[in-house]
Amino acid sequence: MATYDYLIVGSGLYGATFAYCATRQGKKCLVIDKRPQLGGNVYCEEVEGIQVHKYGAHIFHTSNKGVWDFVNSIVEFNRYTNCPVANYKGELYNLPFNMNTFSKLWGVRTPAEAAAKLEEQKAEAVAALNGREPANLEEQALTLVGRDVFQKLIKEYTEKQWGRSCKELPAFIIRRLPVRLVFDNNYFNDKYQGIPIGGYNKLIEGLLKGVDTRTGVDFFQEYKDTWQDTADTLVYTGALDEYFGYRLGRLDWRTVSFKTRVEDMPNYQGNAVVNYTSHEVPYTRIIEHKHFEMFGQEVYQCPKTVVSEEYSVEYREGMEPYYPVNDEKNNALADAYRALAAQEEKVILGGRLGQYKYFDMAPVIEQVLHSFNLL
């Protein structure tokens, strides 16, 4: 007789939300994770009194009131609003592209002046194509925003991200480049956004309250062939190809790496997110973690600060699999694995690794709440 209704592999937001919902329905769950701590990619480490987003900066945003009310019922969220800044060779620009960006770039003061400048530069790019379609990302971006925005804010940043020249990248990567003719630096269009007060670990602790958990346990070493002895149903949120022993081949991933350090000053860059859009520096962004949770004078009450440089790196085996690669080859392989998954009895493959799909946090929670008819 199995002791648990569910064995949940992975304590990220998918696994933790699943455990929360199942437990509320009177089911017994065991959550295991191969990492030494719970929380998956939203796990934070406290350094100098600051919650450091160890696996990459995470900003919660959603327009779904049900999801927002759900997460706030577990832990209250703060008022953080994502307003990234771009640093191009020491010049600072607000993102996303909006009236603040254009006024700094061209000295324009009204939406009409900005629109005229944009149209003038877009027309130049279209004329240069001589009637043909954009053949690469560079040509595509130039027709969407013109040369100044492209040169200073897109070109080198994109090249750092992909490790290739914009002329070698396909045009379809950038279909749209939203431009706002208002003074609005709020990156997300969603109705709700913020960070859990006290950090994401509070959210995970709240979701997993009263649930049995084990860390430092790899499913493949301890449970793969015998999980039915432990639970009636398996909820697996690890990598899809790994579950099937890579029998159809390996899926590709993209990853990022971080160099984190403590700075002996209260305020390093005045903002949580600064993108470095030139080749002059090798990293793509610097995250200053305290600005996710400290506002105004609070920033100065904490004497030190923690910053992480973020680098785009080529994925190799053994690295953290962060982003699925949605090209034809990988999509076809993932579909073949999904067909195998559909034949598995009493096994649910969930989350971003298990489904080989990029999901923000809110859609992951939404999926689980839907599956329990809680939305």
Ligand X SMILES: Cc1cc2nc3c(=O)[nH]c(=O)nc-3n(C[C@H](O)[C@H](O)[C@H](O)COP(=O)(O)OP(=O)(O)OC[C@H]3O[C@@H](n4cnc5c(N)ncnc54)[C@H](O)[C@@H]3O)c2cc1C
11 lies in the site for ligand X, by CB under 6 A: yes
Catalytic residue among 133, 176, 264, 316: 176
241 lies in the site for ligand X, by CB under 6 A: no
Piece in contact with ligand X (CB under 6 A), picked from 13-21, 116-124, 163-171, 187-195: 13-21
10 lies in the site for ligand X, by CB under 6 A: yes
Beta strands in the chain (DSSP E): 4-9, 29-33, 44-47, 50-53, 60-62, 85-88, 91-94, 192-194, 212-215, 231-236, 253-263, 273-276, 285-288, 305-313, 323-324, 347-349
Cβ 257 vs Cβ 311: under 8 Å? yes
CA distance 10 to 135: 42
**Is 358 a residue of the active site?**
yes
Q: Which of 8, 12, 52, 154 binds ligand X (CB under 6 A)?
A: 12
User: Which residues between 41 and 60 bind ligand X (CB under 6 A)?
Assistant: 41-42, 56-60
Give 99 or 368: the residue with its C-beta nearer to ligand X: 368
**Is 184 a residue of the active site?**
no
Q: Which of 7, 8, 13, 86 binds ligand X (CB under 6 A)?
A: 13
In the sheet that holds 273-276, the strands lie side by side as 91-94, 85-88, 273-276, 285-288, 305-313, 253-263, 323-324
Q: Which of 6, 22, 31, 40 binds ligand X (CB under 6 A)?
A: 40
**Is 247 a residue of the active site?**
no
- The dihedral region occupied by 226, where left means phi > 0, alpha psi between -120 and 50, and beta the remainder, is alpha
Give 133 or 314: the residue with its C-beta nearer to ligand X: 314
Catalytic residue among 4, 93, 156, 180: 180
Sign of the torsion formed by the C-alpha atoms of 256, 259, 263 and 269:
negative
351 lies in the site for ligand X, by CB under 6 A: yes
Q: Which of 2, 27, 28, 34 binds ligand X (CB under 6 A)?
A: 34
Q: Which of 22, 33, 150, 199 binds ligand X (CB under 6 A)?
A: 33
**Is 192 a residue of the active site?**
no
DSSP conformational letter for 187: -
Q: How far is the CB of 68 from ligand X (least distance, A)?
A: 12
Exposure letters 182-198 (e unless 16+ CB within 10 A, then b): eeebebbebebbbbbeb
Q: How far is the CB of 239 from ligand X (least distance, A)?
A: 6
Cβ 139 vs Cβ 129: under 8 Å? yes
DSSP conformational letter for 303: -
253 lies in the site for ligand X, by CB under 6 A: no
User: Which residues between 321 and 350 bind ligand X (CB under 6 A)?
Assistant: 322
CA distance 340 to 201: 34
DSSP conformational letter for 123: H
Give 106 or 162: the residue with its C-beta nearer to ligand X: 162
Q: Which residues are catalytic?
A: 176, 180, 254, 285, 310, 358, 360
Per CB under 6 A, residues contacting ligand X are 9-15, 32-35, 40-42, 56-60, 218-220, 237-238, 256, 322, 351-353, 359-362, 364
